[in-house]
Amino acid sequence: MLTGKSILITGGTGSFGKKCTEIILKRYKPKRLIIYSRDELKQFEMAQEFPDSKYDCMRYFIGDVRDMERLNRAFRNVDYVIHTAALKQVPAAEYNPFEAVKTNILGAQNVIDVAINHGIKKVIALSTDKAANPVNLYGATKLCSDKLFIAGNSYVGHDHSAFSVVRYGNVAGSRGSVIPFFLKCRKNGILPITDPRMTRFWITLEQGVNFVMKCLETMVGGELFVPKLPSMSIMNLAKAIAPECKTKIIGIRPGEKLHEVMIPKDEARRTIEYANYYTIQPNFSFWGRRFTNNGGKPVAEDFEYNSGENPWILAPEEMVKIIRSLESR
């Protein structure tokens, strides 16, 4: 689908953007692959990893999603946009709330408006489990962003731009993951545990990229995609990383949940289940014209996709394999 096309990744120097770039360049021959981000040093480092001499499709735009004029320049003649740019650190968002609003909400609206103005074919935005029943500002801004992207399909008019969202949980080994933190703590012999009851969904970076690429291919605009993922308790994760270490209970942090929720009960009536994922359908008139079932079935009325009640449990030995692959990088 992406061969001969122009693709732009906002926040493209992040963990997801770099892995997505790697996979796109392996599988396709895009006309242009544009990395749009604020950090010139990360762009310089990424250009060493994907040099012009080998990948003449690569382009690097220094810019912020808050800057609509710069987005207008970057989006010219682009076919697809993958929106990953966000302020993601929960404590930083709590302390600098309007900065998170400006990037995660106002920036999202800028991406939507500019995409419509330039006739971008498809825009897919990355969300987070924290947007489901949010208890912190980061989650609240991402919930707002999700709703903006879904609603963007309503005011496209007669143009053909389509907007969808992908929501998934913890990415093993990413900068926000607890795994690198535990690996550092392993040297000291003690792993700090917030709450021994805590559970999380887990996905690898490559699995996340593959899921987003599949959603980009199949989306019609308006879906919120949620992959089916395994869960693991924080105690089993600690044992998988450092079975020789002691644990120390430090208490749950502000804005943190015991269990991840990716589909709240309130959204069950609009949720369709497929073999490997769910979609949450919007309450907009455009959806009825676009929707095709493709073998999906409605979930039960009291359904909630919760890491604490998830029947698919990640075995410790499977997590050990993931950790070893991260350490070997």
Domains of the chain as residue ranges with CATH: 6-169+202-228+260-307 (3.40.50.720)
pTM over 0.85: yes
| pLDDT the model gives residue 25 | 97
Of the candidates 287, 269, 149, 209, the residue with the CA atom closest to the CA atom of residue 18: 209
Q: How far apart are alpha carbons 133 and 124 in whole angstroms?
A: 21
Q: What percent of the chain has pLDDT over 90?
A: 78
Check pLDDT > 70 for residue 264. Answer: yes
Q: How far apart are alpha carbons 105 and 186 in whole angstroms?
A: 38
Count the Cβ atoms, other than its own, within 10 Å of residue 16.
19
Q: How far apart are alpha carbons 127 and 164 in whole angstroms?
A: 10
Tokens of 124: 């897919």
Identify each DSSP E strand in the chain by its residue range: 6-10, 32-37, 58-62, 80-83, 122-126, 162-166, 170-172, 190-193, 199-204, 224-227, 231-233, 246-249, 261-263, 271-273, 277-280, 297-298, 305-306
| pLDDT the model gives residue 206 | 93
Rg of the chain on CA atoms, in Å:
20
pLDDT top residue among 225 and 159? 225
Check pLDDT > 80 for residue 192. Answer: yes
Q: Specify the 3-state DSSP secondary structure of 35.
A: strand
Q: What is the mean pLDDT of the chain?
A: 93
Catalytic residue list contains 130: yes
Check pLDDT > 80 for residue 28. Answer: yes
- Catalytic residue selected from 130, 142, 239, 246: 130
DSSP 27: H
Lowest mean pLDDT among 104-118, 166-180, 250-264: 166-180
| pLDDT the model gives residue 81 | 98
Q: Per-residue pLDDT tens for 57-106?
A: 999 999 999 999 999 999 999 999 999 999 998 889 999 999 999 999 99
